[in-house]
Every structure is written in C-alpha cells, then in structure tokens.
Amino acid sequence: MAKYNPAHTPPTNATWDITSLQQLQSFKCQFSQIIIMMRNDSAKGTRTVQRKIMQCARVLLICAFLALAAAAPQQPEKVIAILKQDFDQQPDGSYVYNYETENGIKAEETGTLKKASGPDSNDVIVAQGGFSYTAPDGTVINLNYIADDENGFKPEGEHLPTPPPIPPAIQKALDYLATLPPPPPSRA
C-alpha cells in the first residue's frame, strides 16, 4: 500500500489555464446557490406539507365530532315495563310462554311435540300462537300463526296482504278444465 506523500504532485499531463479555473469557480458558486435554494424550497415545502396535514387533521376532527353528535340519542328512551311474563317448559320439549308489556304488546305461544310427517320418525315441535301491538298510526295489529313440519309458518291477520281475485275469464277456463275427464296415460 502506498503511503501519503505531501510532496507528491499529480502528473502534469492535465493543464489548467486561468479560464478553466474561473469556470470551475463560477460553477462552484452556482452550485452552492442551487443547494441553498433547494434547502429553502425544501423548508418551505416541509412547512406547506405540515400545514396541509394540520388542515386535514382539523377537518377529520370536525367530522368526528359531527358524527358523534348525530349518533347521540336525541331524547331518552322510555323504559317499558313488563307487566306479565310466564314460561313453562316440560321435560318432553313442549312449552307455553306469554308476556305483556306496559305499551300494549302481547304475545303467547304453545309448542307441542308430534311425530314428523316425513320418512324420519323424529319428533317435531308444532308452534301455535300469536301476538298483538299498536302500530305507529294507531292501528292494532293482531297476528296468529301456526308453524309445523308439513306447512311451515302460516300467519293470519287482517293487516296481511291478500292476493287479487282471479279474473272471470280465467276462472271460467279453470272451471271448464275441472269438468274434463283425466287424460289417458301416455305410452312411452
């Protein structure tokens, strides 16, 4: 490894004239001015970015407060008392329950055990019951139902929609088709 020798001078094959040195000096001066400008711009840019981040944070904070205000309950909910509540379950799985609340809601249901109608002979629960309440428009809604493995859930109530009547021409065609003899078995 070569040792440093302060008396050593580089080879003299590169000649520097005075104009080259002046150009180099000018370049160094321009380069340092560019660096200073970049530092100033960088500082301004950093301040601008920080300012924009703070503006976004303020907007987010305001939105969060507005969301909290909108989600807050506008008025306290009245606690509705339960006036009556009974539940009786038997060891075989059958049951009876009913309840009544202070605001007029009433419900009752009876569940009884029966053999399934399908190929499985498992026992199934048949639920039968009803409930009533007052709608916001003041109408009393009564609904009775039965639920079993054969027909599913079958509700009944005056408030439930009904199908439109069958048009007379279609009813006449259905009546005529019912009077015809069954078609002969097809040969396959």
pTM over 0.85: no
Rounded Cα gap, residues 135 and 87, in angstroms: 26
pLDDT band at 151 (very low <50, low <70, confident <90, very high): confident
Other Cβ atoms closer than 10 A to 129: 17
What value does the mean pLDDT of the chain take? 81
Token pair belonging to 64 = 């969060």
- pLDDT tens digits along 95-129: 999 999 999 999 999 999 988 766 666 788 899 99
pLDDT band at 13 (very low <50, low <70, confident <90, very high): very low
- pLDDT tens digits along 23-44: 666 666 666 666 666 566 555 6
Residue 114 host element (H or E): strand 106-115
Which of 11-15, 74-78, 181-185 has the least mean pLDDT? 11-15
What pLDDT is attached to residue 39?
Answer: 61
What pLDDT is attached to residue 115?
Answer: 81
